[in-house]
Amino acid sequence: MSKGIKVEFVWHDGGRAACGFVGMTGDCVTRAISIATGKVYRDVYQQLGERALKTPRNGVTLDIYRDLLDSLGWSMCPGSNIPFIPQVLPKGSVIAQLKSSNSRGDGGHLCAVIDHVIHDTWNPADDDYILVNYWVPPLSAVSTSTMPTEQGRRPSSREQQLTQSEFDKILRRLKALDNTANNRASTDGEKHNALRMMQSLMLTHNLTREDISDDDNVSNVQFTRIACPVNGRRACAWEKSLAHYVTKHVFQTVLYYIDTKGHRTFFWFYGPLSDVQNCIALFRELLLTIATAAHLQYGGHVRGSGASYAEGYVAGLPRAETEPAAVNGKLVSERALIHSRSLALHQAAKEWLDLECNIQLVSGKSSGRYQYDPAAAGHGKVHGAKHEIKVPGQIKRIGHK
């Protein structure tokens, strides 16, 4: 990303959740076309499925979606494999075909860009993506009301609402049939008929079992990943500890990993959308607070006493209160349920990261302390223990003595 260029990003699932789809999916093609053209997600999904002769929930090939865009009058332009910077694209609605230099295999990504603003479930401009091709709409469509605005809104009509209502009925019917097929009280004949009807409906509407599964409600969660860049190719030990703190003790449904780009380190937080957004806000606030305190106390926060003070500050931050099981069994039971839910979300988030962003994480080694100052660390721990954590967008759920 060029220096001085601000890349804006709007989280948008293309209307997938609103159309009743659930489950993990790599649907960037359906999502991008739906956002950029203003068409209903379900309609784009079905049109791609008809051309591919299979469900498009895990992506389709270039020739399939290029054929659909050609039929809609969109024109393909070469991207010349330049670094992906939304500001170099034409204004208006654009569909960008991207490829990462670090991607495994031949995987790529399709995203919608409206007036230089990325509309997606994550921001590819923060990664090393190159622009392979991009599509622009026909001139006649630019002035019509069917094209989305910068906010990604699309027009509504009674016909669309009626169609969505019918589609919701199909999803409810499939779930009811699935329950019948898995009910021990059902006869063999009832199970056979239910499975046969399910298969017929799924083939007709290009649906799979994942589209109707919502076990533990995890399949309905909207995931994202957002980067928080800090200066320097090597993150400070206290910065890493802080990322661990906000995900371990405050936003337990959020995970993070660290990457570098140029002369900066990127802390990538991923998980449920609202939790990631609030986690990023808290992380940035604490970064600024701790770095400022270290500068005032020791003249810096990168090494020496300043870095040690910052480490101590993070170590002193309030953790969740603990109580013996015998004292408060109800509290322990509630925390066990929360922990179980968090583990399910963690697994789903990792699957989403692999399926949607083509990323599989590996463990790395961390460097040791540099000129560690125990006295400064102790000083910082005292200050950190006095810090009152205010969780953005949520009820306060951690305390300190």
Query: Do 48 and 176 reside in the same domain of the chain?
Result: no
pLDDT at 148: 56
pTM of structure: 0.74
Q: Would you tell me how many other CB atoms lie within 10 Å of the CB of residue 75?
A: 12
Note whether residue 40 is domain-resident: yes
Query: Do 138 and 201 reside in the same domain of the chain?
Result: no
Query: Do 257 and 213 reside in the same domain of the chain?
Result: no
pLDDT at 333: 58
Query: Do 207 and 242 reside in the same domain of the chain?
Result: no
Note whether residue 105 is domain-resident: yes
pLDDT at 246: 95
Note whether residue 350 is domain-resident: yes
pLDDT at 345: 87
pLDDT at 206: 64
Q: Which of 142, 170, 194 is the last residue before a domain boundary?
A: 142
Query: Do 98 and 137 reside in the same domain of the chain?
Result: yes
Note whether residue 325 is domain-resident: yes
Q: Which of 110, 142, 174 is the last residue before a domain boundary?
A: 142
Query: Do 104 and 233 reside in the same domain of the chain?
Result: no
Note whether residue 397 is domain-resident: no
Query: Do 313 and 225 reside in the same domain of the chain?
Result: yes
Q: Which of 194, 196, 195, 205 is nearest to 171 (CA)?
A: 205
Query: Do 191 and 137 reside in the same domain of the chain?
Result: no
Report yes or no: 201 and 327 within 8 Å, Cβ to Cβ: no
pLDDT at 146: 47
- Residue 337: which domain range? 221-385
Note whether residue 155 is domain-resident: no
Note whether residue 267 is domain-resident: yes
Query: Do 233 and 344 reside in the same domain of the chain?
Result: yes
pLDDT at 367: 59
pLDDT at 219: 66
Measured between alpha carbons, how far is residue 263 from residues 4, 231, 259 in Å?
A: 14, 7, 11
pLDDT at 57: 78
Domains in the chain, number = 3
Q: Which of 74, 107, 142 is the last residue before a domain boundary?
A: 142
Query: Do 251 and 344 reside in the same domain of the chain?
Result: yes
Query: Do 225 and 323 reside in the same domain of the chain?
Result: yes
The residues of the chain scoring below 70 in pLDDT are: 1-7, 102-107, 140-168, 171, 205-219, 320-338, 364-370, 393-401
CATH number of the domain at 83, please: 3.90.70
Note whether residue 401 is domain-resident: no
Query: Do 321 and 197 reside in the same domain of the chain?
Result: no
